[in-house]
Amino acid sequence: MPNGGIDNCANCRFRSNSDRAWQVNETLECTIRKVAIRHPLWTYCANIHTRSSQPSGPIFIAGLEDYAARPIGEDKLKVITPLGATYVRIPCDDDAFPMLGASGSCCVCAREFQRGISLTSEKQGRVLFCCNKHYVDWWRKKHPTEEMRWKYELYDPEAAQTPAMPSQPTSRKTSW
């Protein structure tokens, strides 16, 4: 079982086939948003807490492991990996799910990276991010009125006071 938290889509009352247990490798549908959920153990939204059938904020996925993330605000959810990293929840861009494990040049800072985030949508095409922070900063500019339930101080590769990432961080590579 992944350690991304128990409040995921596999345990949600608003998933397709919620009358039975979710099966490994089974794609679910969110009955609120009418979106396919391919990785329900690593996908989240606030509706599991609000229990409202009206969409409550964006869908989130577990982002890159972040060795410097610190939860802030009322929700102190922090899931630690054995190596000391935090699985940070990052929002989806409407119905486009970010993909982890991408490499390229960050659209925010132009930094070259090997294990980052990519997002492909019909509106934007493919955009690349070197870290959770740059993705979330970009997302906030596109969605200024959306509220993020899970908030973190995130690793910033441009800030000198932030601890350096380990030389070989582990990363889940997913294809959302």
- Tens of each residue's pLDDT in the chain, 176 residues: 455 678 889 888 898 887 777 777 788 899 999 999 988 888 998 888 887 899 988 999 988 877 666 655 544 444 445 455 677 889 999 889 999 999 999 999 999 999 999 999 888 899 999 999 999 999 999 999 987 766 666 667 777 444 444 444 444 444 44
- Which stretches of the chain are assigned E, i.e. beta strand? 28-30, 35-37, 43-44, 60-66, 70-72, 86-91, 99-105, 112-121, 125-129, 151-153
